[in-house]
Structure 1
């Protein structure tokens, strides 16, 4: 038992549930159940109504996190690889391939999950065999949800406005995918980020004619509805989105904690991207949406790598007096910039990649940074301490080694 009575919040909500485990008080029974690995929770819900109600309550997930028993999942939207041939068939397949010309085939995408706590890889079943190509993956920790947003239809290869929701914790956990409310318009390769605990912002991307979009909208996870936002000043295709905190202009020295305004007034930054007529030439500026004023402001000199997409190259932290970003590139740089309203400040630092000349994908990973390297290697580095000192995590098994398009991490 911890010094603070373990399971206190959960036991208050389920104090009438006697006999969770025969012969044990409810507090101890909850302590035992919190320690069961996540992969067994779906089966546990079928034991009895009390167990199902307990494991489906959001307080159960929060208690797992408080006790340090939650498992970190890294969700990856990535192209699927063909099945590995066995030794008997391998020779026959090589001979067949030599006789037939190579044909370009549209890739199939899936949602892969790496359990960092258990060091296991799995692929999540999807009702339509494959998820939309190039869709955005967003995790909502507060409600235990993973969402797939937009992308391309696997058959028509046209942008879609679909939203798919998978509940990993809470009342709906263990159920199949469900359709969420659709976006106002179809889009792909757009900026997307969770801002706060319940709002997902999207902006930019391109339409079915490959025109860069200026439009933006916000999704309320609780209400399952989309609202349109004012458009950006520029169309931005292949842009990157993230939440950011405002610059603290005045800090009371008597305060013992962070500025309360910083914790509540978060903005949505859309970084770089390119216009319709300048495909592949990434902009150096960005735009920040302020929910408090319902307006956009421009931030200059934020992305100096004109030949490199910011997607899969950035992770960040919104704590402190500004938003700290780490950029995974082959050079060592450090720079700061502010938007033209003076409210938002970006502090950027490049982190030299562990390899050069290889395809990589990087992003956030439970407070640290992680990169996947073409060839099946995953490495991580701490973004607060020992920045740039990479260490190997695990060898990636066959079938999961392709570089992802988008990712999200969540504790369960």
Structure 2
């Protein structure tokens, strides 16, 4: 398979690699692991021009050389491990050390006075499934607790949205944008995006199309379930309010629909019914600018869809309008193997396929998907305890679970995740 000619011109003159035709030179460049792209940008202006373009990263995907990353927002259980070009400055290291000393001091006080609690620190961890490596991305500000992590593949960006302020424990409007492709260094550059219109946490969130992220529901600073929804355009750096949902939905889960750029908000609960998860959901249609209700899509009133549902690897054929999801359940829970539900408008459909986890109902689990595979972080309890990551291949017979090497510093259950190819 050859590299296409569309990225060989790049707006520069001269050979990419002296003595080699451009197409052959490009075949060499797309094979270099992502962690070395920072150094490669300093080789020449032509290399920097090529590697900084989105077309180069698309070519890596098409050529089968892109690396699959799983980004996890999780509590820090040990000092951050910094990877390659994410090394902090001396000042940031000093601040990190001071924070670490303060954190250790707080733990000592907690042991002496059990009533004193310590607010956990959250970070963005990355598992490179292609290279089977882990690292933590250095972020210039403290990551909000319980923030949502969402990726925009075509734009090469990962966003952290909302959550709680680490000090006040109040919902925030914050938006952090991590750009994997643009900028100096490795291309991993952080910036603050325009804040949401409303502070919220535990809300539905999903990337829809190439540049937009939808959010809906969650709760405010008074723990009231929210009906409001809005959409963020990462290119324009602006939010647009959407019509409110029919119901307030706290701890709901969001997904993009296969066609027409729809947005599905799954389950959640109301202000007066905390912990009793609704069986229905709502779907936003950007063409009509309205919401429709989809009934009986979530059959577990005692189980949150967060960390128990994920977009499946099945490709949508033809004019299928909806989303295909995996539903992860414990080995002892009763459930249908598969169900299909249409919304009230008869336009959208949700197809849910059950995947049984190799754990009992007493085990903490956070499950998701990565590169066509189902993945799960396993918490305490049962034979599979030890917070190991496991994965199952998407085969007709269900595949087999296998352990992934997970260092202790990355073994805590995440709150949210996203995946991206680089």
Structure 2: distance between partners of 1:178 and 1:276:
34
Q: TM-score, normalised by structure 1?
A: 0.87
Which of 143, 147, 151 is equivalent to 1:131? Answer: 143
Cα offset, 1:104, TM superposition: 2.4
Aligned residues: 378
User: 1:292, 1:383 → 2: CA distance?
Assistant: 33
Are positions 1:76 and 2:72 aligned together? yes
Structure 1 residue aligned with 2:90: none
For 1:31-52, what per-residue CA distance to the aligned partner results, in whole angstroms no more than 9, with x for missing partners? Answer: 1111111001112112222111
Correspondence list, 1:340-351, <5 A: 340-351=344-355
Deviations 1:64-104 (A, max 9, x none): 111111000000000111459xxxxxxxx9xx799734442
What corresponds to 1:27 in structure 2?
A: 23
SS in structure 2 of the partner of residue 177 of structure 1 = strand
Given that 2:182 and 2:188 are in contact with CA atoms closer than 8 Å, whether structure 1 keeps it comes out as no
Aligned CA distance change for structure 1 residues 23 and 160 (closer, same or farther; 3 Å)? same
TM-score, scaled relative to structure 2: 0.85
- C-alpha contact (below 8 Å) 1:132/1:154 kept by paired residues: yes
2:179 to 156, 167, 170: 167
Other-structure match for 2:242: 229
Give unmatched runs, 5+ long, in structure 2: 81-104, 380-385
Please give the alpha-carbon distance, in whole angstroms, between the structure 1 residues aligned to 2:125 and 2:156. Answer: 17
Corresponding position: 1:372 with 2:377: yes
Calculate the aligned-residue CA RMSD, in Å.
Answer: 2.0
Equivalent position of 1:354 in the other structure: 358
Q: CA deviation at 1:373?
A: 0.6
Q: Whole-Å Cα distance in 2 between the matches of residues 68 and 242 of structure 1?
A: 26
1:8 aligned residue: 5
**What SS class does the counterpart of residue 25 from structure 2 fall into?**
helix
CA contact (8 A) 1:244 1:266 kept: yes
Return the alpha-carbon distance in structure 1 between the equivalents of residues 417 and 400 of structure 2: 20
1:187 aligns with 2:197: no
Distance (Å, rounded) in 2 between the aligned partners of 1:325 and 1:19:
47
Question: Is 1:209 equivalent to 2:219 in the alignment?
Answer: no
- Report deviation, 1:393: 4.2
CA apart distance, 1:390: 3.2
CA shift, 1:176, in A, is: 3.0
SS at match of 1:376: coil
Per the alignment, residue 325 of structure 2 pairs with: 325
Residues 112 and 232 of structure 1: CA distance in aligned 2, closer, same or farther (over 3 Å): same
Deviations 1:247-283 (A, max 9, x none): xxxxxxxxxxxxxxx4xx1311111101111111111
Aligned equivalents of 1:368, 1:99: Cα separation in 2: 42
CA shift for structure 1 position 184: 0.8
1:307 aligns with 2:302: yes
Distance (Å, rounded) in 1 between the aligned partners of 2:297 and 2:389: 28
Give the distance between the partners of 1:31 and 1:399, measured in 2 at CA.
Answer: 36
User: Are residues 383 and 266 of structure 1, via their aligned partners in 2, closer, same or farther at CA, if it must alter by over 3 Å?
Assistant: farther
| Alignment match, 1:288 | 283
Structure 2 residue 77 is the aligned partner of structure 1 residue 64 = no
Alignment partners' CA distance in 2, 1:105 and 1:392: 35
**SS, match of residue 352 in structure 2:** strand
- Say whether the 8 Å CA contact 1:71–1:116 is kept in structure 2: yes
Structure 1 residue runs without a partner (length 5+) = 85-92, 246-261
Counterpart of 1:391 in structure 2 is 401
